[in-house]
Structure 1
Amino acid sequence: MRRYHPVMLEVAHELTHAWDRASGPVDVAADMTRLTLETIGRAGFGYRFGSFERAEPHPFVTAMIRALRFAQLQNVKLPFVRRAFAGSPAQNQADIATMNNLVDEVIEARRREGGESRDLLGLMLTEGHPMTGERLDPVNIRNQAITFVVAGHETTSGALSFALYYFTRNPDVLAKARAEVDAVWGDREPGFSDVAKLRYVRRVLDEAMRLWPTAPGYSREAREDVLLGGKYRMRKGDWVIVPLPLVHRDPAVWGPDPEKFDPDRFEPAAVKKRPAQAYKPFGTGERACIGRQFALHEAVLALGMVLQRYDFEADPAYELKIAESLTLKPSGFTVRPRARARAAVQTS
């Protein structure tokens, strides 16, 4: 994480440069996606998507979104609905080829360059199995890389977007978080160890992910016949989906007003009192998110930097709308960032 911090900081500065130049409202989810895509690309694979230099998304992103939507709609029985929202099978194959070709080019460029690199790509290319010494084959590395890029930016961008939405709707929370940033960071650029000191900002992020976990659920298969919860009979091989927005709103755990945004739910004493399975925004078990610490460091750093630098003007008439694809994000949410009078931090 110490190696990743400078990359995260570099990309966060690109976000603030873009917001400094903005003459009107900015699309929060779009810019958070630029931030997180650029961060995982550079930190994990040494690849620059040029996200803040483009008016339109990178072709990889366009292909990725369409391919994910195509996969999700495979259970829709009406072909014209699938084509309308996700394109044809031929388009899907072209999108997959676009993603594969880009990643193959990145891998081949790294092989030609040689040298030692300890990012994700470098480790996949050079490290072998601890017992057998066997290395990942090129197709496996490609698929792993695509998975890291997809999972490494979609969920974090949604969490950041929801956190900023709740900041604009809760002035007292915004003031408290900004006061923490001012007290801990002041006007200086944050170092690696400064990020974990923003404990209240982290609680805001946690509460945003409670209400809107951007990876909205996970599935489990019954290994044997079982009566689930003393109520639901499941046979071996049956599947159950755990919808996290409902789990995270269970009144038995979160109290009589689970819809209320309240970061104090994540004070240490409150966390200790809750069942461990009541809050699972990063999934659970062996398949829980491998990038959790990466995402949390990146998100708290980005939130701290925009709180340090900007006041936010949001449309008071905006009502939260959820865009659902592979992940959840707010749709149509914009803010007008205005430089704070005291914001005089280094910007490059």
Structure 2
Amino acid sequence: AMVGTLTYAQRRNVVPDPLVPVLLRGAARQNRADMAFLVETVDAVVRARRSPGGGRGAGDGDLLDRMLETAHPESGERLSAENVRRQVITFLVAGHETTSGALSFALHYLARYPDLAARARAEVDRVWGDAARPGYEQVAKLRYVRRVLDEALRLWPTAPAFSREAREDTVLGGVHPMRRGAWALVLTSMLHRDPEVWGADAERFDPDRFDAAAVRGRAPHTFKPFGTGARACIGRQFALHEATLVLGLLLRRYELTPEPGYRLRVVERLTLMPDGLRLRVRRRASAGTDAPRTPSSAPSSPSSPPSGCPVTGAGE
């Protein structure tokens, strides 16, 4: 239902208003059904959480508990049921494809470069030790794992572009005249592969591009996987912490190898993601008992343009 509503919204953006009732009549009917399903699903979760014993309170619970139980410190006002519903749907829509896409790209590259995977895994083992459930601070200490994610987001930012409107007549970059109100679209993948910024090997996967010294030596505004400005992704820190935790747990439990014959293909839906990505996973000898004991092929994100530079279609 969620994918259906997103697909409808994208189609709706390109169909002129007078033609919507004619061209999208069936799609609009399905969209209403999809929206109703989303609303009822979320409302059922909220009802269950509000039931006796269903929540743990704002202090100890999760994000939903906090939204339901936390009052404004001055007015005492709480979020309305409709507001909570919309927030939950926003988390679902904005958080599922983006984080899973970034993780899928990171896993693809770690499977292809076992030396980098070993380096990241060694950091996880050193920082987390025997902790059954790593705490917040332990996740934040996985600096190389975070660099792996940043490099995956550099090559394949899940948000493919962002735009800017000229506030006044100007000349962009000293070359391109723009009148007030004109728009420029920044293709994030091309920004992140500019050889003048990232070097002649900009197409190569190298997490060390994000060590502290390299970041300090780079011009600002050259790495924008979460957009930029006041409307940049509000969930950036949440997503990065979540992705670092998940990637650390996967490295801790599994060895990764590529599926023979798989070639990275990338599709743009709402976000960029690998198409039909498959990896082979093997449980590590020191991992927990919740991981599979035999090699398997594990499908990842769904959804086909060629890999490499999004414009040239260079393969990887």
TM-score range, shorter chain: 0.7 to 0.9
Equivalent AA in structure 2 for residue 309 of structure 1? R
Between 63-72 and 135-144, the greater mean CA deviation after superposition? 135-144
Are the counterparts in 2 of residues 210 and 279 from structure 1 also a CA contact under 8 Å? yes
Secondary structure of 2:43's aligned partner: helix
Partner of 1:225: 169
Q: How does 1:286-301 map to 2 (within 5 A)?
A: 286-301=230-245
Q: How does 1:1-348 map to 2 (within 5 A)?
A: 63-76=1-14, 88-113=27-52, 116-118=57-59, 119-127=62-70, 135-192=78-135, 193-340=137-284, 342-345=285-288, 347=290
**Structure 1 residues 142, 190: CA separation in 2 closer, same or farther (over 3 Å shift)?**
closer
Distance 1:175 1:110, change over 3 A: closer
User: Mind listing any 5+ residue stretches in structure 1 that lack a counterpart?
Assistant: 1-62
Question: TM-score, normalization: structure 2?
Answer: 0.79
Looking at structure 2, the residues matched to 130 and 223 of structure 1 have their Cα atoms a distance apart, in angstroms, of: 37
Separation in structure 1 between the aligned mates of residue 263 and residue 250 of structure 2, nearest angstrom: 23
Alpha-carbon displacement from aligned partner over 1:273-299 (angstroms, at most 9, x marks no partner): 112211111222222222222222221
Structure 1 CA distance for aligned equivalents of residues 69 and 176 of structure 2: 48
Segment of structure 1 superposing worse, 275-284 or 161-170: 275-284
Q: Name the SS of the counterpart of 1:337 in structure 2.
A: strand
| Amino acid in structure 2 at the alignment position of 1:116 | G
Contact 2:58 2:68 in 1 (8 A): no
Q: Which has the higher contact order (CA 8 A, sep 6+)?
A: 1
Cα distance in 1 between the residues matched to 2:234 and 2:283: 36
Where 2:57 maps in the other structure, the secondary structure is coil
Q: 1 CA distance for matches of 2:124 and 2:43?
A: 41
Return 239-248 or 226-235, whichever deviates more: 226-235
Q: Distance in 1 between matches of 2:41 and 2:32?
A: 14
- Per mean C-alpha deviation after superposition, the further-off stretch among 226-235 and 172-181 is 226-235
Q: Is the 2:166–2:179 Cα contact (8 Å) retained in structure 1?
A: yes
State how many pairs are aligned: 283
- Describe the shift of the 1:109–1:236 C-alpha distance in structure 2 as closer, same or farther (beyond 3 A): farther
Quick one: distance in 2 between partners of 1:299 and 1:187?
A: 20
Q: Give the TM-score, by structure 1 length.
A: 0.72
1:189, 1:345 within 8 Å by CA — same for their partners in 2? Answer: no
Cα RMSD (Å): 2.9
